Amino acid sequence: MTDPESLHYYLLQQLAADPVTSQRELARRLGVSVGKVNYCLQALVEQGLVKAGNFYRSEHKTGYAYLLTPEGLREKAAIGRRFLQRKLAEYEALSVAIEQLKAEVGP
């Protein structure tokens, strides 16, 4: 996943669904490094889109909960709209290419 906006969208999507997911688990789900997830989370917190808070998973481990702020929810929706528009354009271009290949190759 090289597009930063797509990564932010998927990260916001994952946090909305499960705010207590570890950075390691987020990295695994998104197919990126833990360092990249950490960097992106810090950026989202600095932008005011995500709020990080401590919580206790068990008696001996401290973890974080990453909660989307109202601005974070709005940004997730805006990024989602742009992402959908981009994917629809890609789909349409791919459909045209497929039809051209079918015409070239034949039945």
CB neighbours of 35 closer than 8 A, spacing ≥ 6? none
Give, for 56, the enclosing helix (H) or strand (E). strand 50-56
pLDDT band at 85; cut points 50, 70, 90: very high
Q: What is the assigned CATH class of domain 4-105?
A: mainly alpha
pTM of the model: 0.74
Mean pLDDT of the chain: 88
pLDDT tens by residue, 49-75:
999 887 665 454 557 789 899 999 999
Q: Which two tokens stand for residue 19?
A: 């705010």
